[in-house]
């Protein structure tokens, strides 16, 4: 094959996907292809439009171009300082540990064999980022996106997926919903301060908000029906304010966040049972367009 530039080539079995660009200074691509070693040296040239083509059985056929975010994902994960850090993870005995970076948010990813391996990997990954000249300068937030084979998922899994795709209001809201699915921000009983066990989850929420800084985020905190309406209103506002303060400390813009305490006024389950109380006491994050 002569006189063309390949922007992307992936071979699966006998099929090649080739991106062709103009090679003769024209707006079309001149392709000269020798289809077999025994073919004549006089290459046959045809003129086709610039684009993506599949070469199979000696013929070129048009193919859809790959999505830009997929190409970006491969590039980001295999080159530059990010690629160097991932190579160091493998050398340290953690080949399953990965790193997803977008803007100033870094998410450690992978599936650990057990909880202890996850803990060590988080320590190693965080230390590697902090020691790297580029990583320590560019990254302001490091998030745990590491799952465990036994079933525990990393709180930053949806953040890592968002960081590798298109940022929109829908994708940002989906990432928040997925992060909170089956999870709760924990507070000590009758108190407004955040339990340390929820800080990894809130780090993931902070990362999503930072990548989605074009949108406003409402922090809505709800209580169950135990206690007076007035008490629950005050308690829920304290908890919403505490979450807002935590996210601000992690780097989320102050103009982006609103904290609203709903008390017991928006119940998901009106039954007076422990199960209903557990459902109703919750924190929700809702995106909207910024003014």
Answer yes or no: do 190 and 275 share one domain: yes
Answer yes or no: do 189 and 254 share one domain: yes
Answer yes or no: do 159 and 223 share one domain: no
Answer yes or no: do 50 and 74 share one domain: no
Mean residue pLDDT across the chain: 81
pLDDT at 102: 97
Instruction: Give the per-residue SS3 of the chain.
Output: CECCEEEEEEEECCEEEEEEECCCCCCEEEEEECCCCCCCCCCEEEEEECEEEEEECCEEEEECCCCHHHHHHHHHHHCHHHHHHHHHHHHCCCCCCEEEEECCEEEEEEEECCHHHHHHHHHHHHHHHHHCHHHHHHCCEEEEEEEECCCCCCCCHHHHHHHCCCCCHHHHHHHHHHHHCCCCCCCCCCCCCCCHHHHHHHHHHHHHHHHCCCEEEEEEEECCCCCCHHHHHHHHHHHHHHHHHHHHHHCCCHHHEEEEEEECCCCCCCCCCHHHHHHHCEEEEEEEECC
Q: What does the pLDDT look like over 259-287, one tens digit per residue?
A: 999 999 999 998 999 999 999 999 999 99
Backbone φ, ψ for residue 175 (5° rounding): -60, -40
Question: What's the pLDDT band for 291 if we cut at 50, 70, 90?
Answer: confident
Answer yes or no: do 56 and 110 share one domain: no
In this structure, is the dihedral angle defined by the CA atoms of residues 258, 264, 266 and 272, taken in order, positive or negative? positive
Res 2 pLDDT > 80: no
Question: What's the pLDDT band for 48 if we cut at 50, 70, 90?
Answer: low
pLDDT at 151: 85
Backbone φ, ψ for residue 199 (5° rounding): -70, -35
Residue 127 lies in a domain: yes
Res 125 pLDDT > 60: yes
Answer yes or no: do 58 and 93 share one domain: no
CATH code assigned at 237: 3.30.1330.60
Identify whether the C-beta of residue 6 lies closer than 8 Å to the C-beta of residue 52.
no
Q: What does the pLDDT look like over 106-123, one tens digit per residue?
A: 999 999 999 999 999 999
Answer yes or no: do 142 and 190 share one domain: no
pLDDT at 51: 56
Res 35 pLDDT > 80: no
pLDDT at 60: 55
pLDDT at 31: 28
pLDDT at 57: 57
Tokens of 184: 């709760």
Determine the angle formed by the axes of helices 199-211 and 169-180, rounding to 10 degrees.
180
Residue with tokens 């966040």: 257
Answer yes or no: do 62 and 100 share one domain: no
Question: What's the pLDDT band for 245 if we cut at 50, 70, 90?
Answer: very high
Residue 35 lies in a domain: yes
Residue 200 lies in a domain: no
Q: What does the pLDDT look like over 58-106, one tens digit per residue?
A: 555 665 544 433 333 333 344 699 999 999 999 999 999 999 999 999 9
Task: Tell me what the mean pLDDT of segment 18-47 comes to.
Answer: 40
Answer yes or no: do 32 and 53 share one domain: yes
Q: What does the pLDDT look like over 193-234, one tens digit per residue?
A: 999 999 999 999 999 999 999 999 999 999 999 999 999 999
Find how far residue 285's CA is from the centre of its chain: 17
Res 54 pLDDT > 80: no
Find how far residue 107's CA is from the centre of its chain: 7
In this predicted model, which residue has the larger pLDDT, 50 or 108?
108
Look at the chain and report how many structural domains it folds into: 3
Q: What does the pLDDT look like over 155-205, one tens digit per residue?
A: 999 999 999 999 999 999 999 999 999 999 999 999 999 999 999 999 999
Residue 243 lies in a domain: yes
Residue 124 lies in a domain: yes
pLDDT at 75: 33
Domain endpoint, select from 66, 96, 116? 66
Query: Residue 228 sits in which domain range?
Result: 185-194+208-289
Answer yes or no: do 53 and 79 share one domain: no
């Amino acid at each position: 094959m002569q006189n063309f530039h390949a922007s992307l080539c992936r071979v699966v079995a006998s099929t090649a996907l080739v991106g062709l660009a103009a090679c003769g200074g024209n707006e079309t691509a001149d392709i000269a292809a020798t289809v077999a070693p025994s073919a004549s040296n006089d290459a046959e040239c045809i003129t086709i439009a610039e684009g993506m083509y599949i070469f199979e059985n000696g013929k070129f056929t048009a193919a859809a171009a790959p999505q830009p975010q997929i190409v970006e994902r491969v590039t980001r994960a295999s080159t530059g300082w990010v690629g160097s850090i991932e190579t160091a993870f493998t050398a340290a005995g953690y080949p399953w540990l990965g790193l997803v970076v977008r803007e100033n948010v870094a998410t450690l990813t992978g599936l650990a064999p057990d909880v202890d391996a996850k803990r060590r990997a988080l320590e190693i990954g965080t230390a590697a980022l902090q020691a790297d000249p580029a990583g320590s300068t560019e990254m302001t937030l490091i998030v745990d996106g590491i799952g465990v084979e036994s079933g525990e998922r990393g709180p930053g899994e949806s953040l890592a997926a968002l960081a590798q795709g298109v940022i929109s209001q829908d994708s940002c809201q989906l990432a928040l919903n997925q992060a909170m699915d089956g999870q709760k921000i924990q507070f000590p009983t009758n108190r407004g301060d955040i339990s340390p066990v929820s800080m990894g989850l809130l780090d993931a929420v902070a990362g999503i908000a930072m990548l989605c800084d074009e949108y406003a985020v409402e922090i809505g905190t709800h209580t169950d029906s135990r206690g007076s309406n007035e008490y629950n209103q005050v308690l829920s506002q304290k908890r919403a304010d505490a979450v807002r303060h935590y996210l601000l400390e992690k780097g989320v813009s102050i103009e982006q966040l609103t904290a609203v305490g709903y008390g017991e006024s928006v119940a998901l389950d009106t039954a007076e049972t422990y199960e209903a109380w557990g459902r109703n006491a919750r924190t929700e994050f809702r995106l909207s367009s910024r003014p």
